Structure 1
């Protein structure tokens, strides 16, 4: 698949822009801070309603360019997507400040979640080093964004779980307050929530462990191609509750989690948090059996992060329509051997969008079309042909 046109209104640094993309590789070239990443972020946001840069979507709405300008009420991202057989689909998402978002497909109003799964993309950016080095939440987000593109219905499971987890955590915080005042907590309301919490947690964790099993081979292969190291990359899913086998039974996993919750209530009340559940799952990354975090070199860490994204690209390509590959300021961070390995692998993509500050950072063998990106104090970010 590929995007032929992108139109933005009040998105990030863009007041208004319409950009046409050709098949193949396109480079968005411009100095730092001009708005290159904002454009590719708009494309990728439609894939999983997730940004690789911010967690709050209100940050995607443009700020006023001057003190005299009113704050925009929202942002609009509109893309023309071309899939197998040259079939065209127009996708529109309106991010409304303080209200529910709105979406259209081919000018027909739809629920925003119906957009998920239509446009698939894989983004690699410097922030991806945090998948390896950062907190477990970053690794869970990586898995969930990929899951949502593979199986859009999991977005509802994730949303429901997050809501129930917040409610249960609030009850545990209340129980902690009761303990501190010398009272015995009343867990009856917690018990009511445990059934739903355990079921949703089991569904989400089982989806994640299945994804990790699918991802292991492609990620390891990508590392062999670009890593420049004989050590093998392996990834392992670490379920918060311990037992969560590939292909496991949802009811069984949920039942086991309920038993853990029942035996841990006082400990959770003392801490005022949910100690077990899908919100505490993690991903273990190893090279040659050694943890990547804390042991790998800077170059190896880059290669692992990139291999995870390239593995995701292979998974999403299995339905016959390759996702859009976005490389955000990546080549400048790679040495020559890793650049060469990445260049070989991305030739499989129908469309590659690359941001770069310097033209020499992009390998010439990609034969890329170049769009110049610059900031105008009155117009915002402007995109034009080089």
Structure 2
């Protein structure tokens, strides 16, 4: 799949843009704070209906404007799609082929995009919340059911935690209602956990192969899901996981009431990146951690292709300068001829030109984009 044409109105500092993209490699040059990251964020938002930088959609609307509008023409192997998102202060609406969609789950997944930014290099060494966000974002765009259950889980979790706080304040006393909420949450949690196990199993295989290809190291990379409820196993089915989560909720109920919060579940789970059985979060060198992060991104591309039979868009936000020549070469060789790729950079000097063939190069300045002329355009 590839994004043929993209129009932007009032998205951060991007006021009015209409761009025809090349199906292979598109490079955006510009100094910092000119709009390069905003453009990639807008493409990502068109695909997933959410930003990777903020949870507040209102921040995306240009200052002094009432709305932001994104439209894209997408070419897939079998079909052409028209996508549109309208953002207002009241919320967002989405259209697929000019028909408004009542549910975001009917829209998300039509265009798949994988983003790789310098922050992703912190995926291994960063906090567990980063890895949970990674799972929810990536699995949500390839499986509508996962997206639905993840959204529902956070709704019921917020409801349960709010009720726990009411009990702490003495404003509520109905423990039967608390058990009902715990039962609902356990059921949804089981649906999420069984899917995380499934997709991480695929991702682990692909990431292990990518790590072996691009690393001179001899270690074996595996990804391990770490549920906050210790006795949950990969081999458990949905019903078994539900029973274990529910039993854990019942066991922890006195402590949860005391603390006013839910102590276990998918919102407390983690993901470990293991090199020869050792957690790279604790024992990996910076070079190993960067190679793992790159391997995981390459694995995501392969996973999306396996599940959708289409390669996703790849958005590389100022990440080339963070990778040495060997890792750049590994990345560019892996995606060559497969994915439509968008690269942002402050200059062209650090890019491995021997691999990129005839890219389309743009210059971004103060939110305006112009096609750059010169040898880089082929």
Q: String of CA shifts for 1:248-298, please: whole Å, max 9, x gaps.
A: 322221122111111111111222210011111110112222211132222
| Corresponding residue for residue 384 of structure 1 | 370
Gaps of 5+ in 2: 373-378
1:50–1:145 Cα contact (<8 Å) kept: no
Instruction: Give the deviation of 1:106 after TM superposition.
Output: 1.8
1:35–1:373 Cα contact (<8 Å) kept: yes
1:169 pairs, out of 161, 170, 173, with: 161
Instruction: Give the deviation of 1:88 after TM superposition.
Output: 1.7
Question: SS of 1:101's equivalent?
Answer: strand
| Corresponding residue for residue 151 of structure 1 | 143
2:166–2:172 Cα contact (<8 Å) kept: no
1:330 pairs, out of 319, 326, 330, with: 319
| Corresponding residue for residue 106 of structure 1 | 97
1:243–1:253 Cα contact (<8 Å) kept: no
| Corresponding residue for residue 297 of structure 2 | 309
Are residue 351 (structure 1) and residue 340 (structure 2) matched? yes
Counterparts in 2 of 1:300 and 1:252: CA distance versus 1, 3 Å = same
2:24–2:337 Cα contact (<8 Å) kept: no
* Distance (Å, rounded) in 2 between the aligned partners of 1:211 and 1:281: 15
| Corresponding residue for residue 72 of structure 1 | 65
Instruction: Give the deviation of 1:61 after TM superposition.
Output: 1.4
Question: SS of 1:141's equivalent?
Answer: helix
| Corresponding residue for residue 362 of structure 2 | 371
Question: SS of 2:281's equivalent?
Answer: coil
TM-score w.r.t. the length of structure 1 is 0.91
* Distance (Å, rounded) in 1 between the aligned partners of 2:47 and 2:125: 25
Matches within 5 A, 1:1-386: 1-63=1-63, 71-85=64-78, 87-97=79-89, 99-111=90-102, 112-178=104-170, 186-246=174-234, 248-318=236-306, 319-364=308-353, 365-367=355-357, 368-375=359-366, 381-386=367-372
Counterparts in 2 of 1:184 and 1:105: CA distance versus 1, 3 Å = closer
Q: String of CA shifts for 1:50-74, please: whole Å, max 9, x gaps.
A: 32222222222112xxxxxxx2122
Instruction: Give the deviation of 1:246 after TM superposition.
Output: 3.6
Q: String of CA shifts for 1:145-170, please: whole Å, max 9, x gaps.
A: 12122212322211111010011111
* Distance (Å, rounded) in 2 between the aligned partners of 1:275 and 1:382: 48
What is the Cα-based RMSD across aligned positions, in Å?
1.8
2:28–2:343 Cα contact (<8 Å) kept: yes
* Distance (Å, rounded) in 2 between the aligned partners of 1:245 and 1:94: 42
1:284–1:291 Cα contact (<8 Å) kept: yes
Counterparts in 2 of 1:57 and 1:100: CA distance versus 1, 3 Å = closer
Gaps of 5+ in 1: 64-70, 376-380
* Distance (Å, rounded) in 2 between the aligned partners of 1:117 and 1:54: 20
* Distance (Å, rounded) in 1 between the aligned partners of 2:93 and 2:211: 40
1:26–1:371 Cα contact (<8 Å) kept: yes
2:325–2:352 Cα contact (<8 Å) kept: no
Question: SS of 1:362's equivalent?
Answer: coil
Aligned length: 368
Instruction: Give the deviation of 1:23 after TM superposition.
Output: 1.2
Counterparts in 2 of 1:314 and 1:277: CA distance versus 1, 3 Å = same
* Distance (Å, rounded) in 2 between the aligned partners of 1:113 and 1:94: 16
